[in-house]
Structure 1
Amino acid sequence: MNRPASDASPAALLAPVLLGATLLAGGCAVSTPAGERASGEALCKDRIDSLRAANQRLRETRDVLRDSLRFRQGVEAGRYYRERRNLRDRVERMSYMLTQLREGGRTVEVIEADALFEPASARLTPEGRTRLDTLAARIERTYPERRLLVEGHADGAPLSAELQETYPSNWELSALRAASVVRYLTAGAGLAKERFRLVAFADTQPVASNETATDRRRNRRVRVAVLPEPRASAGADAEW
């Protein structure tokens, strides 16, 4: 009488598994003989060595790039501070120029005193009056109703004793020359006197040295400038 399948012995049940494992092991042994296994291990070792070498090269490249980046950052930082310093210098120069412009106005014309006055005098010549007529027409055409500044300048040469009886110093001479110009532009050319401001600088603002006659002639001058127009709102900056 046959036994039920459940009554089979453990050895009988494990036999097929052991047989499969044996066959599998035998198949692996057959498919990977000792020579091929040694060759594969050598190939793996070569690949590992190659990867290690490549990794080392990458590390070296990384270090070079990192140093280069640090250097570039240093260069960029230096360039930034140089540009910042240059910009600050430009702003300071422009601020200074703006201050000068607002205090002294925008130049309309600079006329040498020799073209306006008699020698060593504040009296206008006929040619000087003609020159001021032309200037007045230009002012009315270009700057109608704008405030004006007239500056008187002298050279650095000392005045003679005779001249000092009329003009004790270059302060008086430069002031009276500026006053003569204002007087003619208002009374002679018809510009409103309320528009004018007058200032004398004597020889304190030369445009050339006083060593030659040519330089001294350049320093003896009258400057006419238009002043900035105040804004309507109180406390606001003046505008042109």
Structure 2
Amino acid sequence: MRSLLLFVGLAAVLPGLGGCATTQLPGASPASRLDSLRAENATLRSRLRRVEDSLRFRDDVATGQYYRDLRVLKDRLNRRTYEAQIRRQGGRTVRVLPADSLFESSTATLTAAGKKRLRAMTGHLEMAYATRSVRVEGHADDTPLSEDLQERFASNWELSAARATAVVRYLIAHSALAPSQFAALAYGATDPVASNATARGRRRNRRVRIAVLPPPQDYSRSVETSW
């Protein structure tokens, strides 16, 4: 099949080769004739490469290799798109814990029950995400802090930051994961998941989100990670 296609491809090219012949004027120097022959040779090589590429592509289509390669490329593209979305969303959520179940009221002090819940989390992180980067996010409702609380936390930003940091410190102290794998972030009341107009909504907004990022990839161009 390939031999037949090669013959057909060359047959299509050969009629045009005569047009490549360079008309030499009488008395042309040997150097000039050599340059003409070199240019003609380069043109023929270029045409031959195009024929070979065309035949190779047809072989790939005929054997199914083209479609297999295309499927692999699409799978890679879908995977990169998924990883980019996950990173933009702050990672894959592992657990969202109500702040009221972790901390003493209006503080960043972990309760005994809160420590127990986090201790259960450490085993899961070690088994499923031993090499991943872990994000711990602190979130709050929009209720202004009392004057007494403001002596310790200037706003809900500082309170959510202190809570995220407290969770990170506990996970580091009670797991085999390296401190460099953790990051603590504070969102304050800027990313609510429910309405702050109701007590139930405010309880949902007071939360700690624990997420993991996809494993690092080697990208060919820095612009692919510049977002």
| TM-score, normalization by structure 1 | 0.56
Q: What RMSD over aligned residues (CA atoms) do the two structures have, in Å?
A: 1.9
Do structure 1's residue 200 and structure 2's residue 186 form an aligned pair? yes
Post-superposition shift, 1:144?
1.4
User: Which residue identity does 1:183 align to in structure 2?
Assistant: R
| TM-score, normalization by structure 2 | 0.59
3-state DSSP class of the match of 2:93? Answer: strand
Shift of the 234–184 alpha-carbon distance from structure 1 to 2, 3 Å rule, reads farther
Do structure 1's residue 178 and structure 2's residue 173 form an aligned pair? no
Of residues 202, 209, 223, the one that matches 1:223 is 209
CA contact (8 A) 2:126 2:176 kept: no
Gaps of 5+ in 1: 1-94
Post-superposition shift, 1:142?
1.1
2:141 aligns with: 155
Post-superposition shift, 1:210?
0.6
Give me the whole-angstrom Cα distance separating, in 1, the residues matched to 2:97 and 2:148: 26
2:86 aligns with: 101
2:114 aligns with: 128
Give me the whole-angstrom Cα distance separating, in 2, the residues matched to 1:142 and 1:166: 37
Query: Which residues of 2 match residues 1-240 of structure 1 at below 5 A?
Result: 99-103=84-88, 104-233=90-219, 235=221
Gaps of 5+ in 2: 1-80
Give me the whole-angstrom Cα distance separating, in 2, the residues matched to 1:234 and 1:199: 29
Shift of the 127–196 alpha-carbon distance from structure 1 to 2, 3 Å rule, reads same
Post-superposition shift, 1:190?
3.8
3-state DSSP class of the match of 1:151? Answer: strand
Deviations 1:144-164 (A, max 9, x none): 111111110000111001100
Shift of the 235–198 alpha-carbon distance from structure 1 to 2, 3 Å rule, reads farther
1:43 aligns with: none
Give me the whole-angstrom Cα distance separating, in 1, the residues matched to 2:184 and 2:125: 16
Give me the whole-angstrom Cα distance separating, in 2, the residues matched to 1:98 and 1:189: 26
Larger radius of gyration: 1
Sequence identity, in percent? 52
3-state DSSP class of the match of 1:134? Answer: helix
Give me the whole-angstrom Cα distance separating, in 2, the residues matched to 1:173 and 1:211: 20
Post-superposition shift, 1:191?
2.5
User: Which residue identity does 1:185 align to in structure 2?
Assistant: L
Post-superposition shift, 1:98?
6.2
Post-superposition shift, 1:111?
0.2
Paired residue total: 143
Give me the whole-angstrom Cα distance separating, in 2, the residues matched to 1:98 and 1:195: 18
3-state DSSP class of the match of 2:136? Answer: strand
Give me the whole-angstrom Cα distance separating, in 1, the residues matched to 2:137 and 2:116: 19
CA contact (8 A) 2:94 2:212 kept: yes
3-state DSSP class of the match of 1:166? Answer: coil
User: Which residue identity does 2:107 align to in structure 1?
Assistant: S
Shift of the 100–168 alpha-carbon distance from structure 1 to 2, 3 Å rule, reads farther
Runs of 4 or more, structure 1, over 6 Å off, are none
